[in-house]
Amino acid sequence: MTLTLMFHIVFAAVGIGLPLLMVIAERLHLRTGQPQYIELARKWAKATGLLFAIGAVSGTALSFELGLLWPKYMQITGAAVGHLFALEGFAFFLEAIFLGLYLYGWDKLPPRGHWWCGVAVAFCGALSGWLVLGVNAWMQLPVGVELDAQLNVTGTNPLAIFKTYAWFTMALHSTLACYCAVGFAAAAVYAVAMLRGRRDDYHRAGLRVAMIVATVAAIVQPISGDLIAKFVHKTQPTKLAAMESHFETRAYAPMVIGGWPDVENRRVDYAIEIPGMLSFLATGDPAATITGLNDIPRDLWPNVPIVHAAFQIMVGLGMLMMFVGIAWAVAARLRRDAAPRRWLLWLIALCGPVGFIALEAGWFVTEVGRQPWVIQGILKTADSVTPSRHVWSMLIAFAALYATLGAVTVALLRYLARKTTA
């Protein structure tokens, strides 16, 4: 399941982020009439169509795995929030319909009508993510469900999760992460081309549009991260303690930067501590008491080193992207239409994969940090997974599928990058 989600989350992020770049580029063409923007929109539309198709295959495999690997989980989840999966399916099909209209509607639909089809693609892509995050938010904070002693669902409130703080904060944080990852990845493509001397209007426009989206998302992201931290403090104190490797319950709890947790001796080695900062970030009060892992039963701890390392990677890379985005924005303001300096282009190019690494790390924080629960406080992972002995054969088969899909994706994207715009 980890392998599947690590693979699929890349395509889910692209399905959310790339259509936004596409519609912004076409809107700029409608407003200015400059040809480089319509060339960008066409190129990004083709990439969106390709990655949408690959993502559909990996998403279909994921749906099979849910039923095959997690029977008890699906028994509860299907009854409690199955409607969210169904609604996500509707959003997916709407996205596919409007994407078809967009791809084949060039010069056939009125220009503004064609652009609105692109807006629908971008909105439906984001909506799919929001609905899936509704399921994940429910796993973190199961509300609106009544269970009997055998964990059979006896009553549900389909809209309960949308009324919680969990869904909004997770949807906001994840959507911004997708925009940031895709924006920097696209910007890196044009930065590399410009480093190779291709500083024409097309490449400069591609860099500008991608960096605007990436920079705005990177600047807003810490605000959503603060909301997530406060939510986790209130509902999942074990996860928060694991994220910071916070072992001792105390007031003025420090924020830990870097370091490696020594779980046996219950300390963090080689770390920098900022006194009171964890208390302040979690509650707004630097004197607040934060629960430590020492006050939580050992069998309810997640894998602390993995959660801590993933959290540090996510935050560190997020700050890096924010600073690079701000540096680009300042340089663009000062230099007006001049191309960015080489050192800045190198930084943007190096940030190409950073957004996706941070996205994957954030997923590890969310999912590993919830362990040993698959549904927080209701169902443990060990009690929900299939007892079948044939999981390894499935893993090999799906790994081969993803390797093939990955190779095909890289080959087709390289072909698309070389091919002149129609």
Closest by CA position to 173, among listed 119, 222, 122: 222
Does the structure show a pLDDT above 70 at 97?
yes
d(CA 298, CA 371): 12
Contacts 24+ apart (CB under 8 A), 399-402: 399/3, 401/57, 401/61, 402/3, 402/4, 402/7, 402/58
Q: Which conformational region is residue 259 in: left (phi greater than 0), alpha (psi within -120 to 50 degrees), or beta?
A: left
Question: What is the DSSP annotation of 243-277?
Answer: HHT--S-EESPPEEEEEEEETTTTEEEEEEEETTH
What pLDDT is recorded for position 355? 94
User: Residue 420: pLDDT above 60?
Assistant: no
Tell me how far apart the alpha carbons of residues 239 and 293 are, in angstroms, rounded to a whole number: 9
CA pair distance 75, 290, nearest whole angstrom = 35
The C-alpha atoms of residue 160 and residue 241 are separated, in whole angstroms, by: 27
Report the pLDDT value the prediction gives residue 81, as an integer from 0 to 100: 87
What is this structure's pTM?
0.92
Q: Is 406 within 8 Å of 7 (Cβ atoms)?
A: yes
Return the DSSP state at 339.
P
Backbone angles phi, psi at 148, to 5 degrees: -90, -175
Judge whether residue 338 has pLDDT over 80.
Answer: no
Distances, alpha carbon 280 to alpha carbons 97, 156, 261, 374, 405, in Å = 47, 36, 22, 29, 45
Query: Does position 339 have pLDDT exceeding 80, yes or no?
Result: no
What is the tens place of the pLDDT at every residue in 283-312?
989 999 999 999 999 999 999 999 999 999
Asked whether 305 and 259 are in contact (CB, 8 A), the reply is no
Domain spans, the chain? 1-163+389-422
Look up tokens 């994940």; give the residue: 136
Q: What pLDDT, on a 0 to 100 scale, did the predictor assign at position 422?
A: 41
Segment 36-49, tens digit of pLDDT: 999 999 999 999 99
Q: Which residue has the higher pLDDT, 39 or 417?
A: 39
Confidence of residue 337 (pLDDT cuts 50, 70, 90): low
Per-residue model confidence as pLDDT tens digits over 159-208: 888 888 889 999 999 999 999 999 999 999 999 999 998 888 899 999 99
